[in-house]
Amino acid sequence: MTSQRTAIVTGGSRGIGRAVAERLAADGQSVAILYAGNSAAATETLNAIEAAGGTAIGIQTDIADETQVRAAYDQVEREFGGVDVVVNAAGIMILGPIAEFDLDDLDRMHRTNIRGTFVMDQEAAKRVRNGGAIINFSTSVKKLGLPGYAAYAASKGAVDAISSVLAKELRGRDITVNAVAPGPTATALFLEGKDPEAIERMSKMNPLERLGTPEDIAEMVSLLAGPGRWINGQTVYVNGGMV
């Protein structure tokens, strides 16, 4: 294991992904933020990391496009010498009942949440150095079974399967693979389209009676990306005890 570790964080320009990128940089890792299109948000995150004394670069990447993903990994290796940690925080959440769900929306979520994670992990399996970690993002809503969440929860159930299988496929390489399953977390992705009553109700679903913060989730990622070497092949629920 090298003294200077390098992390790739998808969806690293906003929300949980930004908190993860900032936390890993604060932990001393060089960070490459992969973002879909919001260059202003990416620049803001990079500036925040550098202002705090960290090292980071941004790479605009369609994570479901294997050619772009390979190019992004190549750039990170040129810049920092290798890849130790890959965090797949990018995701799309579209809600609606199964009977009325737009199948184009289903395909969009599948492309980012499943294919994007798969493509990133496929390359990570070839590139991550021994002693590294691959961290995918799942969701606590799989256990809750809330109406309207079927398509999203199904996409994240696939992420759980990818994570547990890849952990076994990397036998002998000292690389951990886990999925982090947040509960309701105060991000734009979660808050969008919800009325105050719904937000208040969901904040009371856990015994701590509050929404999670992006920093709460980043704390678990920090553990899995660094000292948490004996946690492997798991889906870790980070939700204040909701389920």
State how far the Cα of 197 lies from the Cα of 123, in Å rounded to an integer.
42
Identify the residue whose tokens are 């949440």: 113
State how far the Cα of 229 lies from the Cα of 187, in Å rounded to an integer.
29
State how far the Cα of 36 lies from the Cα of 135, in Å rounded to an integer.
19
Judge contact between 128 and 86, C-beta under 8 A. yes
In this structure, what token pair is assigned to residue 81? 């010498």
Considering the candidates 35, 73, 149, 152, report the single residue annotated as catalytic.
Answer: 152
Judge contact between 112 and 125, C-beta under 8 A. no
**Is 152 known to be catalytic?**
yes
Judge contact between 36 and 90, C-beta under 8 A. yes
Query: How many other β-carbons are positioned within 10 Å of the β-carbon of residue 92?
Result: 17
Spacing of C-alpha 7 from chain mean position = 12
DSSP string, 4-35: S-EEEEETTTSHHHHHHHHHHHHTT-EEEEEE
Query: Looking at the annotation, which residues are catalytic?
Result: 152
